[in-house]
Amino acid sequence: MKQEIFSIMSNQLPPSKQQLPSQKNSRLFILGRETTLSLAEIKAFFESRNLDFSIGFQSENKLVVESTNFPDSAQTIKRLGGTIKICEPIGVVRNSPIELADRLNEYIPEGKIEFSVNDSKSLGIETKKRLKNLGRSARYIEANNTATVIYNNLVKKGADIIIVNNIAFATKGIQSIDEFSARDFGRPGRDDESGMLPPKLAMMMINLATQPLDSVIYDPFCGSGTVVTEAMLMGYKNIIGSDSSEVAINDTQKNVTWLLDRYNLDINNFNLDIFQYDATLISKRIKQNSIDAIVAEPFLGKPMRGNELISAIESQASELKYLYTKAFAEMYKVLKPNGIIVFIIPRFHVKNEWVKIDCEKEIEKLGFENASILPDQKHLLYWRETQHVGREIWRFRKI
């Protein structure tokens, strides 16, 4: 999906934007596959920390953010599910190897300079020659993917350079592919039948809830506990997870234990409540007006093959609409006033058509308002073309 809502191609930029006004106050974010969702997550991340945020430039997966108080890039990348790299400006480079070599010479003042530069092998090779002329030992690495940057240790020891609008940015934070994949595929409690939220998406959804770390976060359809465990890792302490299935609750508990061990976390620092319960009855178990935010991927219907009859999928859609509306009525009771719900509503791709679940009006009638992070996007879509189920990510506020 390449929705370029703020997109302006560099050659169409007004002269004032051709060079960023203050390099110090900009960071380049390389966004994940769902660029609009990634952008919404970054905006939510800044808003929830009261950091000023504006967009200097966006094209496809490159987003230049301007702010006067950026948090540390290497730490921030660990808290964002939808960002692949965070890069800091090192100086002006007008696509010339001479200028890039000068910038690298300053950036890595001693030892061998190992570097990569985006999309341009010839620039890399010419820059290496120029560095040799300057008396520096240099190695150019053609790094077309994140793994090559990580395995060559270019973030800590070398320089992974990305040039945007004549500014060279060096990567300072890079998403850990290995950690995400360990949490996705290495956790002991798995339910491939009901499906599990990818940890990156769970992290993005938690960020979209824009909650401070002392809030109470709740997932009433917790399954094997991805929202619970990602929230723990992000620093939340008060977390509730429930599910109608006993197996799911056992899986969540196993995954919590696994996470504590893998990340050396102390269970005593958390206030966790994990229990079996039907989401359409939860106000009988959870105190009214006690939850700050609900983040959930509910039951999405039976696993699909793509050859189902549209009528069968439509009938499943109306059953799910009934379940979600009932769950929202209960979630309303347990949420604090102004409480937030970040919730997945599935849409089904059958025979090149979408069958959607339209429950926005019912949810609004219960006392919620749409509280999307990006005002021109009522919801955000997470979907790959090979998938039969797309996930719409909605954000509501209890009025």
The residue range among 18-26, 33-41, 297-305, 375-383 that interacts with ligand SAM, by the rule CB under 6 A, is: 297-305
| Nearer of residues 35 and 194 to ligand SAM, judged by Cβ | 194
Q: Phi and psi (nearest 5°) for 369?
A: -125, 150
In angstroms, the CA 98 to CA 149 distance is 23
Q: Interface with ligand SAM includes 297 (CB under 6 A)?
A: yes
| Interaction of residue 226 with ligand SAM, rule CB under 6 A | yes
Least distance (Å) from ligand SAM to the CB of residue 282? 8
Smallest distance, ligand SAM to C-beta of residue 165, A: 39
CA distance 67 to 55: 9
State the minimum distance, in angstroms, from the CB of residue 334 to ligand SAM: 14
49 burial level (CB within 10 Å; 0-12, 13-18, 19+): middle
Whole-angstrom CA distances from 223 to 96, 242, 293 are: 53, 8, 18
Full DSSP string of 214-265: TSEEEETT-TTTHHHHHHHHHT--EEEEEES-HHHHHHHHHHHHHHHHHTT-
- From 291, 300, 334, 355, residue interacting with ligand SAM (rule: CB under 6 A): 300
**Part in contact with ligand SAM (CB under 6 A); list of ranges 117-125, 157-165, 175-183, 278-286:** 278-286
Decide if 320 contacts 299 (C-beta within 8 A): yes
Q: Contacts by 199-202 with C-beta closer than 8 Å and gap 24+? A: 199/81, 199/226, 199/229, 199/230, 200/32, 200/81, 200/82, 201/81, 201/382, 201/391, 202/81, 202/226, 202/227, 202/230, 202/295, 202/297
The CB-nearest residue to ligand SAM is 223
Region label for 91, one of left (φ > 0), alpha (ψ between -120 and 50) or beta (otherwise): left
Does 81 contact ligand SAM by CB under 6 A? Answer: no
**Out of 56, 223, 241, 339, the residue judged to bind ligand SAM by CB under 6 A:** 223
**Binding status of residue 274 toward ligand SAM by CB under 6 A:** no
63 or 202, CB closer to ligand SAM? 202
Quick one: which of 26, 116, 194, 215 contacts ligand SAM (CB under 6 A)?
194
**Pairing between strand 353-356 and 335-350?**
antiparallel
Sort strands 159-164 and 26-31 into parallel, antiparallel or unpaired: unpaired
Smallest distance, ligand SAM to C-beta of residue 203, A: 12
With respect to ligand SAM, which residue has the nearer C-beta, 193 or 261?
193
User: Looking at beta carbons only, is 40 or 248 nearer to ligand SAM?
Assistant: 248
Site membership for ligand SAM, residue 154 (CB under 6 A): no
Q: Which residues contact 126 (CB under 8 A, 6 or more apart)?
A: 97
Q: Which is nearer to ligand SAM, 114 or 243 (CB)?
A: 243
> Which residues are within 8 A (CB) of 167 and not within 5 positions of it... i.e. 6 or more apart?
19, 20, 23, 26, 89, 91, 92, 93
Site string for ligand SAM, 242-271 (x = CB under 6 A): -xxx--x-----------------------
Applying CB under 6 A, among 35, 127, 280, 316 the residue interacting with ligand SAM is 280
Of the candidate residues 197, 304, 355, 373, the single one contacting ligand SAM (CB under 6 A): 197
Q: Give yes or no for a contact between 202 and 241, defined as CB atoms under 8 angstroms apart.
A: no
What is the rounded CA–CA span in Å between residue 189 and residue 209? 25
Look-up of token digits 């952008």: 39
SS3 (DSSP) at 137? coil
Is residue 299 close enough to count as binding ligand SAM by CB under 6 A?
yes
Q: Does residue 278 belong to the site contacting ligand SAM (CB under 6 A)? A: yes
Query: Nearest approach, Cβ of 187 to ligand SAM (angstroms)?
Result: 10
Single out the segment in contact with ligand SAM by CB under 6 A; choices: 51-59, 100-108, 173-181, 195-203.
195-203
Least distance from ligand SAM to the Cβ atom of residue 10, Å? 39
Contact status: 301 vs ligand SAM (CB under 6 A):
no
Does residue 283 bind ligand SAM (CB under 6 A)?
no
Identity of the residue, 165 or 229, whose beta carbon is nearer to ligand SAM in the bound complex: 229
Considering beta carbons, is residue 273 or 278 the nearer one to ligand SAM? 278
Q: Report the run of H or E that residue 323 belongs to, with start and end.
A: helix 310-334
Distance CA 368, CA 286 (A): 19
Query: For 78, phi and psi rounded to 5 degrees?
Result: -75, -15
Contacting positions for ligand SAM (CB under 6 A): 194-197, 220-221, 223-224, 226, 243-245, 248, 278-280, 297-300
